[in-house]
């Protein structure tokens, strides 16, 4: 029997790719802003980073809700147990980071009383500036950013490995014919 690997739902696939593109952009703009000198270019880049970060947070919340209400397709039995476990742990960590990263970024800006706009619309400052708590979220955003970058690289390497092995795993996250 030919093994037609089951795939993720269309909603899960579309959300995965929209969020993946936006997160790759956020990791790139986040790190690039670190090396840019203070000035208009940096301010504009960080403003764009914040807007896209809030936008992706909306998609992520929908995705987490979808994931909790839809079982992903089981991996074929040909995938060794240790790979099934590590894929599960890695995916869980990616979901956790998709939540921690935008929340820590927003709280760091909010508690630092740094303006946050959503594509030009100013989000009200609804909490007072707090220099005691802000560093926690600022540091979380940085450390989680490093971990996120490393895990995304591992994730992409695993996807490429499966694609090269032509074992049908990468197809699970693609639309179209098998």
Q: Which residues bind ligand HEM (CB under 6 A)?
A: 16, 20, 23-24, 26-27, 30-31, 33-34, 46, 49-50, 53-54, 56, 67, 72, 75, 87, 91, 94-95, 98, 101-102, 105-106, 109, 116, 141-142, 145, 148, 152, 155-156, 159, 169-170, 172-173
Min. distance of Cβ 17 from ligand HEM in angstroms? 8
Residue 75 or 133: the one with the smaller Cβ distance to ligand HEM is 75
| DSSP string covering 94-113 | HHHHHHHHHHHHHHHHHHTT
Looking at the Cβ atoms of 2 and 160, the one nearer to ligand HEM is 160
> Do the Cβ atoms of 157 and 86 come closer than 8 Å?
no
SS3 118: strand
Min dist. Cβ of residue 151 to ligand HEM (A)? 8
Alpha-helical (H) ranges within the chain are 10-35, 40-69, 81-111, 134-165
Q: Which is nearer to ligand HEM, 106 or 111 (CB)?
A: 106
Q: How far is the CB of 132 from ligand HEM (least distance, A)?
A: 17
Tokens of 39: 């000035």
**Least distance (Å) between residue 97 CB and ligand HEM:** 7
The shares of helix, strand and coil residues in the chain, as percent rounded to the nearest 5, are: 70, 0, 30
Rounded CA separation 105/54 (Å): 9
Instruction: Evaluate whether 47 touches 118 at the Cβ level (below 8 Å).
Output: no
Nearest to 126 by CA among 138, 136, 140, 111: 111
The end-to-end CA distance of the chain, in Å, is 15
Q: Specify the residue, 38 or 132, whose C-beta has the smaller distance to ligand HEM.
A: 38
Nearest approach, Cβ of residue 59 and ligand HEM (Å)? 10
Q: Residue 60 or 132: which CB sits closer to ligand HEM?
A: 60
Residue nearest to ligand HEM (CB): 30
């Amino acid at each position: 029997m030919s093994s037609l690997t089951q795939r993720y739902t269309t909603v899960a696939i579309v959300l995965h790719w929209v969020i993946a593109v936006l997160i790759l952009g956020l990791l790139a703009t986040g790190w690039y802003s670190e090396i840019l000198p203070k000035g208009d270019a940096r301010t504009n880049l960080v403003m764009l980073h914040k807007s896209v970060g809030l936008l992706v947070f909306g998609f992520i919340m929908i995705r987490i809700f979808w994931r909790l209400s839809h079982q992903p397709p089981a991996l074929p039995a040909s995938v060794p147990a240790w790979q099934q476990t590590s894929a599960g742990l890695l995916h869980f960590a990616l979901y956790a980071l998709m939540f921690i990263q935008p929340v820590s970024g927003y709280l760091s800006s909010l508690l630092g009383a740094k303006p946050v706009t959503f594509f030009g619309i100013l989000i009200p400052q609804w909490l007072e500036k707090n220099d005691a708590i802000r560093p926690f979220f600022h540091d979380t955003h940085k450390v989680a950013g490093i971990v996120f970058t490393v895990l995304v690289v591992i994730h992409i390497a695993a996807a490429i490995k499966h694609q090269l092995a032509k074992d049908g795993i990468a197809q699970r996250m693609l639309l179209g014919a098998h």
